[in-house]
């Protein structure tokens, strides 16, 4: 029996596509774990595969190479954070109030990153392969915030809202990293409130600036 025929067989009631999806998920989780704990320098194929409890060849069955795995993982993690924020906004007590919408979104993001500090460290990893991803994530988040804030009645232009969000998001991520690393002794609620209030306060001042 050939390797391709074996790959298409069902084992223990698990279909081939489900097994591939599981390996892919484990490799992505391993990428976050390794980079989040030990930095990009530790992210070798062998280390990632071992963390995922898979053979090194498994990585190349799902991804082109290590950088492809990192990029896909980054995009999925970032999209998940945006989705969490949007879900929190939808569940907010008053989705017509900009401050309430802002607090709900920021709280959801901080809570998700607080569940596993390695996520924040991975998102803030400063390596060329992820630099464009980080920029794209910040701009996507800024765009979503602008849309939600306008929907909640914000009178600022989209450009003003996006600019405010970018300023606060960049500093907010660094604040979260300092909090998770123990450099700042803050409660999770304080971190969320500080970022949300910074965004709200800057938005209020923006007409005098832009």
CA distance 53 to 42: 16
Question: What's this model's pTM, rounded to 2 decimal places?
Answer: 0.85
Give me the sign of the Cα torsion angle 197, 202, 207, 210: negative
Q: Which domain holds residue 112?
A: 94-208
Tokens matching residue 179: 């909090």
Within-domain flag for 87: no
- Which pLDDT score is estimated for 167? 93
Number of domains in the chain: 2
- Which pLDDT score is estimated for 57? 94
Residue-wise pLDDT for 38-94, tens only, equals 999 999 999 999 999 999 999 999 999 999 999 999 999 999 999 999 999 999 877
Report the CATH number that the domain containing residue 26 is assigned in CATH: 1.10.10.60
Within-domain flag for 6: no
pLDDT of 11 over the 80 cut: no
Residue-wise pLDDT for 117-139, tens only, equals 999 999 988 888 899 999 999 99
- Which pLDDT score is estimated for 5? 44
Tokens matching residue 87: 């879900």
Within-domain flag for 163: yes
Highest mean pLDDT among 27-31, 89-93, 95-99, 119-123: 27-31
Tokens matching residue 20: 């591939």
Residue-wise pLDDT for 146-174, tens only, equals 999 988 888 899 899 999 999 999 899 99
Within-domain flag for 158: yes
């Amino acid at each position: 029996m050939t390797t391709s025929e074996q790959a298409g067989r069902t084992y223990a009631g698990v279909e081939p596509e489900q097994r591939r999806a599981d390996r892919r998920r484990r490799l992505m989780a391993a990428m976050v774990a390794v980079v989040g704990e030990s930095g990009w320098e530790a992210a070798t194929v062998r280390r990632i595969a071992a963390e995922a409890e898979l053979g090194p060849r498994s990585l190349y069955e799902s991804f082109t190479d290590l950088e492809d795995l990192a990029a896909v993982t980054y995009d999925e993690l970032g999209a998940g954070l945006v989705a969490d924020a949007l879900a929190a906004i939808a569940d907010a007590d008053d989705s017509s109030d900009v401050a309430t919408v802002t607090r709900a979104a920021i709280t959801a993001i901080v809570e998700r990153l607080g569940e596993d500090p390695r996520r924040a460290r991975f998102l803030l990893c400063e390596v060329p392969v992820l630099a464009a991803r980080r920029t794209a994530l910040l701009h996507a988040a800024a765009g979503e915030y602008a849309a939600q804030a306008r929907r909640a009645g914000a009178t600022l232009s989209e450009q003003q809202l996006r600019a405010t969000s970018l300023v606060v998001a960049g500093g907010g991520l660094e604040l979260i990293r300092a909090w998770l690393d123990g450099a700042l002794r803050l409660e999770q609620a304080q971190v969320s409130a500080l970022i949300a209030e910074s965004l709200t306060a800057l938005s209020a001042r923006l007409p005098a600036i832009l």
